[in-house]
Amino acid sequence: MITILYICGFSIFVYFIALSMTSLLLVILGALQIHKYNKEITIAEFDHIAQSELSTPVSVIVPAFNEAAIIIGTVENLLKLNYPCHEVIVVDDGSTDETICVLHQRFKLQPLERHGATQIETRPIHAVYESPDYPNLVVISKENGQRADAINAAVNLSRYSLLCVIDADCVIETDGLQHMARPFLLNPSLAVSSGVVRPSNGLVVKNGTIVARGLPKSWLGLNQEVEYARSFQWARNGLNSLHSMLCISGALLLIKKEALEEVGGPWPKAITDDIEFTIRLHGYLFDRRNKRNLKIAFIPDAVCYTEVPEKISQYLPQRNRWQRGTLQAVFRNWRMIFNPRYGTTGLFGMPYFLLFEALAPLVEVAAYTLAVTFLVLGLTTFKEILILMFLAYSVNVFLTLMTIYITEKSNQRSTSWKDYWKEVIAIFTDALGWHQIRVFVSLLATFEYFILRRRDLGAPMERKPTPSASI
C-alpha cells in the first residue's frame, strides 16, 4: 500500500514538472512569435488593406440568442469596421426576448429575398431582412438550433469567401478586421486566422466605437483579465507555433468559407462548438488526403472584447460548461491522440489538451488528496507539503507575470501603472483562490459528463449593455 502511494506521488510530481516545462516552452515560443510579428507589420500596410479594392471581401457572422440588451451595440460596432468590403449577417436563433424587435426598430428592417446554396443542413429559416440605411447588413430569423446551427445558417446565405465569426456580446477594434485579413493576403495557403479575446467589462463604447479601455472593476472580472491574457499569450500563441492550437475562440475567427464547408461547419450538438470544430479542423488540415498544406495563423494584435461574468452564480456554470465541452471535444476525436497521421497536432497538441487541459483537474485534486493521505499516515511533514505547494504556486505566478509582460509589449494596449499593478495583485489572488475554485468546478463537471451523462449547454448568461460615453 505504501509503495503504491509513493508511486502515485512520484507520478504526480513528474506530471507537475512536465506541465511546468511545457508551459515555460509555450511562453517562450509565444514571446518569439509576438516579437517576429511586431517586426514584420507596418502602419502603412494596414492603411493599404483598408483602402485597397483587392482586399478579400468578408462576411461577418453574428449568432444571437436572447441578446436584446447588447445586440445593437455589437452591430453598430461591426458596421463601423474600417474595411473596404464586408457584410454583417446577424442570426436571431429563435430568441424568446426582444432581440429581433430591437433590430427591427434600430435598423428599419425590411423583408429580403435572398437564397444561398444549402451546403450545411440547418433548422428552418423564418425570414431574411435587410436595412435600407445599411446595405451591408442582413438579419436572419430562424428556428432555435443553438449557436453552431445559427452560424451554419449564415454560412449558407453568405456572399463572400472569407467568413468572420464573432459572438453577439463582443466588440472589436475598428482596424481589427484588417489585422485578421492581413495573413490571407500574404499566404494563400492560410485557412484560418484567430485573434486575442479580452474582457469587455472595462470598456466604454460610443456609437459603436471603443473610446476608453479599462480593467473590470470586480475582482472576479479582474482575475479573468489575467486568465485570458495567460490563455492567449502563452497557451494559444505558443501552441499555434507547434500547429497545436486546438481552441480557436468562437468569439473571433476568420476562416475560408471553403474550408468551413468541407469540414462540415460547427457541430450543432457540441457543448462548446468552437473547441470541437477546431479539433476537427486540425484533423482536416493534417489529413494526408489534403494536399493543399493549409495553415492557421494567430494574430496577437487583433483584439476582441467579450463580456465575462462578474457574479459567481454566472461564473461557475460557465466553467462547468467549458470543462464538459472540452471533454466532449477531446473524446469525440480520440483517434487523433498520438496519431502521427495528424502531425504535431496528433503527437503533441491532442496529448497536451488531454493531459494538461481536460484531465488536469483530476490530477490536481488527486494531488491534494494524496498530500492529506501522506500527512495522516506520517509519510511526510506539513512543512514539506507547504514547500511543494509554494513551488507550484511560484511557478504559476512566474509564468503569468511573464505573459502579462508579453501582453504589455505586444502592441495590444497601453496600460497605466495603476492598472498594471492591479493585474499583478490579481495574479497572486488568481493563483491562490480562484484557481482552486475552477479546479473543483471542473471536477464536478467531469463527474457530470462521465457519470450523469450531462450534455446540455446550460442557461445563457444574463447580459448588460457595454457602458456608453456621454455625447
Residue 335 in this model has a pLDDT that exceeds 90: yes
Question: Over 60: is that where the pLDDT of 377 sits?
Answer: yes
Please report which helix (H) or strand (E) contains residue 379, including its range. none
CATH topology of domain 22-347: Spore Coat Polysaccharide Biosynthesis Protein SpsA; Chain A (3.90.550)
pLDDT recorded at residue 47: 59
Least confident of 39-53, 119-133, 346-360, 446-460: 39-53
Q: What percent of the chain has pLDDT over 70?
A: 91
Which of the four pLDDT bands, split at 50, 70 and 90, describes residue 97?
very high
Of residues 28, 25, 38, 26, the one with CA closest to residue 300: 38
pLDDT, residue 410, reads 61
Which run of H or of E encompasses 128? strand 125-130
Q: Phi and psi dihedrals of 162, rounded to 5?
A: -110, 135
In tens, the pLDDT along 217-245 reads 899 999 999 998 888 766 788 898 888 89
Average pLDDT over residues 121-141: 95
- To the nearest whole number, what is the mean pLDDT of the chain? 88
Contact 85, 58 (CB under 8 A): yes
Could you give the CA distance from residue 245 to residue 236 in angstroms, rounded to a whole number? 5
pLDDT average, residue stretch 89-93 = 97
- H or E element in which residue 36 lies: helix 2-40
Q: Where are the domains of the chain?
A: 22-347
Q: Which pTM was predicted?
A: 0.91
**Cell of residue 467, nine digits:** 457602458
Residue 224 half-sphere exposure toward CB, CA atoms < 13 A: 26
CA 392 from centroid of its chain's CA atoms: 26
* pLDDT class of 468 with cuts at 50, 70, 90: low
Q: Give the pLDDT of residue 418.
A: 82
